[in-house]
Every structure is written in C-alpha cells, then in structure tokens.
Amino acid sequence: MAGKRPVFTENFSANLLAIQAFLGPEGDRAYQRLLDRLFDDIVPTICQFPQSGHSFLAWTIRSSDAKHLVKKLQALLKHGDDLREFILDDYLVLYLVRRGRIVLLSIKHHRQLSFDLKVFLQER
C-alpha cells in the first residue's frame, strides 16, 4: 500500500474548512500545524500502515440508540471494508480501508460538536 495516494472525500475537505473557521483567526498557527502534521506525517503513515488507527467498530457500545446507528453504518459497509480512526493531537481522523485504498472520510477537533443543533433550536 506504500506509495498509493489516498482519496479525500468532499466531507473531509469541508471538515478542514470547518476546523479553520472553528479555530478562528487566533488559531491560524494551530491550523497550520494541523495541516503540516496531517499531510507530512499522518496521511503517509496511514497509507503505509492502514491498520495503525483503531478499529472504529471495535468500541463497546452500551446505548441502544448507538447500537441502532452502528447497525445502519455496518449495512453501508462492503465486505472487507475496515472503518478506522486515528487520533492526532486534538483531532480525530476517520478513514476507510477499502480494497487497498485509503479513503479519508472525516476530521474533527475534539471540541467541535458532533451533531447539529440548528434544526432543534429553530423548532422552539
């Protein structure tokens, strides 16, 4: 797998822009450090050693809602797919190993909300 180019999804690119906006102008240095580490270290490491991240579906799930969502997620995965996460400082990178390809799905800062409350707040 070494030397292969990863696939960056539109969602991953949008997440990077969201992180930049989340950090704001005072976070320019932190954002540049993220990009440097991501493209100089982490992506090459994941491409060379795809199993270096933790298996996303290996976590123990106790919530019935989460169990339901995991079943829906598993239905979307194809045979042989390996959904993994890699923690990079304050960030979590979600990626898929599919038929020898690395597909970068998402990246989030740990302080970013993982859900959208806009719809909920508009209903009130």
Give the separation between CA 93 and CA 54, rounded to whole angstroms.
10
Over residues 62-110, the pLDDT tens digits come to: 999 888 888 888 888 899 999 999 999 999 999 999 998 999 999 999 9
SS3 44: helix
Question: What is the Rg, in whole angstroms, of the alpha carbon atoms belonging to the chain?
Answer: 16
- Using an 8 Å Cβ cutoff, are 20 and 31 in contact? yes
Over residues 7-56, the pLDDT tens digits come to: 999 999 999 999 999 999 999 999 999 999 999 999 999 999 999 999 99
Enumerate domains of the chain plus CATH numbers.
7-123 (3.30.2310.20)
